[in-house]
């Protein structure tokens, strides 16, 4: 691949070799593990040295790790996670900024920053990450590799540090669609049940509108090529048309998911932070200040809105349908460019306007490294209805191969 050494990649917290336990569907594949997923005998940091030092090393691997080792894959090490996985930029105060292999002067995206960098720098075939607000899809998009956020809770989270139980998933980042599919089917425990063929591609106009114009143009061009080559129809759809009433895509983030994430983060991580007063990185401290000042009781109604959006979006995504959009509204920002409040808010608000769509929908999304804007990679996302993970994998295989 790029010939980057592991040290130059900045991806790894620690390198070692575990397994495989047996031969199986993943023979010959190597993987890395994000540092909020347990590896036996090695402390899990959750992206925070204070957390790492306050918790004993786990005795068991996370279930998702053992699934891979039992099917023939080899674990090559533990990779960097953003602090408490609460970031989309991949610039860790404690563990540094893993190298964006195809755009080394730019951020890799986070919070699965080391997962993306270990794959994109050619050091492993795939990586286990986690995704709440985009933590698999954003680094996959910005580093130009494949990324899967599966349907909510389709992959076991036992031994994975809890983040936001109603939102978070384990996901996979990989250097090819085959290297994504093979571990995905093991982790999803895919049964081989027949799934329909893809019969319709929708493109979500609101997401194109929020993206930079070169990104939106590249995405639409790619979809037109894909539609032409595959013979599958391509139709524009607005978020309002999808759900059946007048509402903007931004509602998914601003009124729903963002508040739910804050509420759940308080209950899961906030309790620990308040009791232990750990050392916090500057950027996380700023974000956490917003969490602490949040009125959770007033925002309880966001839970009902999340449920309603889940039902309404999925009603618009019947069998055979995939919905497409740029995975991120921008290519990777230059390192050091997210230094003003305005820049940070623009990056997060626009990115999460797109990523919250699958978060609220609880459905699978694959970020495919199909776009190039002036030599810089960015992802094109394909999503399908809740629990239609195997359909989505098959559809992307047909459309992209």
- Name the minimum Å distance from CB 133 to a copy of itself: 15
Name which of residues 216 to 245 contact a copy of itself (CB under 8 A).
none
- Name the minimum Å distance from CB 50 to a copy of itself: 14
Cα end-to-end span (Å), the chain: 20
- Name the minimum Å distance from CB 253 to a copy of itself: 18
Q: What share of the chain is helix, strand, coil (3-state, %, to 5)?
A: 40, 20, 40
Name which of residues 302 to 331 contact a copy of itself (CB under 8 A).
303-304, 306-308, 311
The residue among 57 and 229 lying less far from a copy of itself, judged by its C-beta, is 57
Cα 354 to Cα 102, 104, 360: the distances in Å are 23, 25, 11
Beta bridge partners of 15: 77
- Name the minimum Å distance from CB 307 to a copy of itself: 4
| Segment lying near a copy of itself (by CB under 8 A), choices 94-102, 250-258, 259-267, 348-356 | 259-267
The residue among 189 and 225 lying less far from a copy of itself, judged by its C-beta, is 189
Q: Does 27 bind a copy of itself (CB under 8 A)?
A: no
Q: Does 83 bind a copy of itself (CB under 8 A)?
A: no
The helix/strand/coil state of 336 is coil
Taking CB under 8 A as the criterion, the residue among 214, 296, 346, 400 binding a copy of itself is 296
Beta bridge partners of 383: 323, 365
Contacts with 131 (C-beta within 8 Å, 6 or more apart), sequence order: 112, 137, 149, 168, 169, 171
Burial class (CB within 10 angstroms; exposed 0-12, middle 13-18, buried 19+) of 225: exposed
The residue among 169 and 175 lying less far from a copy of itself, judged by its C-beta, is 169
**The residue to which tokens 């980042």 are assigned:** 173
Catalytic residue numbers read 34, 111, 135
Q: Give the DSSP letter of residue 383.
A: E
- Name the minimum Å distance from CB 22 to a copy of itself: 8
**The residue to which tokens 């974000």 are assigned:** 287
Cα 26 to Cα 20, 29, 89, 291, 317: the distances in Å are 9, 6, 30, 41, 32
| Distance between CA atoms of residues 169 and 36, nearest Å | 12
- Name the minimum Å distance from CB 280 to a copy of itself: 16
- Name the minimum Å distance from CB 398 to a copy of itself: 22
| Six-digit token string for 70 | 């039992």
| Segment lying near a copy of itself (by CB under 8 A), choices 86-94, 124-132, 298-306, 348-356 | 298-306
The contact mask relative to a copy of itself for 175-194 (x = CB under 8 A, - = no) is -------------xxxx-x-
Q: Does 61 bind a copy of itself (CB under 8 A)?
A: yes
| Six-digit token string for 266 | 């308080």
Taking CB under 8 A as the criterion, the residue among 178, 220, 247, 268 binding a copy of itself is 268
Beta bridge partners of 127: 32, 173
Cα 300 to Cα 9, 255, 270: the distances in Å are 42, 11, 17
Taking CB under 8 A as the criterion, the residue among 5, 7, 59, 375 binding a copy of itself is 59
| Segment lying near a copy of itself (by CB under 8 A), choices 60-68, 206-214, 245-253, 393-401 | 60-68
Q: Does 398 bind a copy of itself (CB under 8 A)?
A: no
Phi, psi of 298 (to 5 degrees): -65, -25
| Distance between CA atoms of residues 60 and 40, nearest Å | 5
| Distance between CA atoms of residues 146 and 173, nearest Å | 6
Q: Does 271 bind a copy of itself (CB under 8 A)?
A: yes
Residues that bind a copy of itself (CB under 8 A): 21-22, 38, 56-63, 66-67, 69-70, 152-153, 156-160, 162, 164-166, 188-191, 193, 263-264, 266-268, 270-271, 274-276, 296-297, 300, 303-304, 306-308, 311
């Amino acid at each position: 691949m790029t010939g980057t050494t592991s040290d130059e990649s900045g991806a790894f917290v620690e390198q070692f070799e575990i397994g495989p336990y047996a031969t199986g569907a993943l023979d010959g594949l190597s993987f890395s593990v994000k540092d909020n997923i347990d590896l036996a005998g090695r402390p899990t940091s959750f992206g925070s040295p204070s957390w790492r030092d306050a918790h004993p090393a786990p005795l068991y691997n996370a279930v998702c790790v053992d699934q891979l080792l039992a099917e023939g894959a080899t674990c090559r090490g533990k990779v960097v996670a953003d602090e408490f996985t609460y970031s989309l930029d991949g610039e860790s105060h404690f563990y540094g900024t893993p190298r964006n292999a195809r755009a080394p002067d730019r951020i890799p995206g986070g919070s699965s920053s080391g997962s993306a960098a270990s794959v994109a720098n050619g050091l492993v075939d795939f990586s286990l990450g986690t995704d709440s607000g985009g933590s698999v899809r954003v680094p996959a998009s910005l580093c130009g590799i494949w990324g899967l956020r599966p349907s909510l809770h389709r992959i076991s989270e036992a031994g994975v540090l809890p983040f936001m139980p109603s939102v978070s998933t384990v996901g996979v980042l990989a250097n090819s669609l085959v290297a994504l599919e093979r571990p995905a089917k093991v982790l999803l425990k895919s049964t081989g049940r027949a799934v329909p063929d893809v019969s319709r591609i929708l493109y979500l106009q609101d997401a194109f509108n929020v993206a930079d114009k070169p990104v939106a143009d590249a995405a639409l061009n790619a979809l037109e090529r894909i539609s032409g080559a595959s013979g599958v129809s391509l139709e524009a759809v607005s978020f309002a048309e999808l759900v059946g009433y007048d509402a903007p895509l931004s509602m998914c983030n601003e009124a729903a998911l963002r508040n739910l994430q804050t509420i759940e983060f308080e209950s899961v991580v906030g309790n620990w932070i308040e009791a232990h007063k750990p050392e916090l990185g500057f950027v996380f401290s700023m974000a956490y200040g917003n969490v602490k000042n949040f009125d959770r009781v007033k925002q309880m109604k966001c839970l009902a809105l999340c449920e309603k959006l889940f039902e309404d979006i999925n009603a618009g995504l019947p069998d055979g349908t995939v919905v497409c959009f740029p995975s991120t509204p921008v290519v990777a920002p230059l390192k050091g460019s997210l230094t003003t409040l305005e820049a940070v808010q623009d990056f997060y608000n626009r990115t999460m306007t797109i990523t919250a769509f699958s978060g609220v929908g609880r459905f699978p999304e694959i970020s495919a490294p199909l776009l190039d804007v002036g030599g810089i990679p960015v992802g094109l996302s394909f999503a399908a209805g809740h629990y239609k993970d195997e359909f989505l994998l098959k559809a992307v295989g047909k459309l992209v191969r």
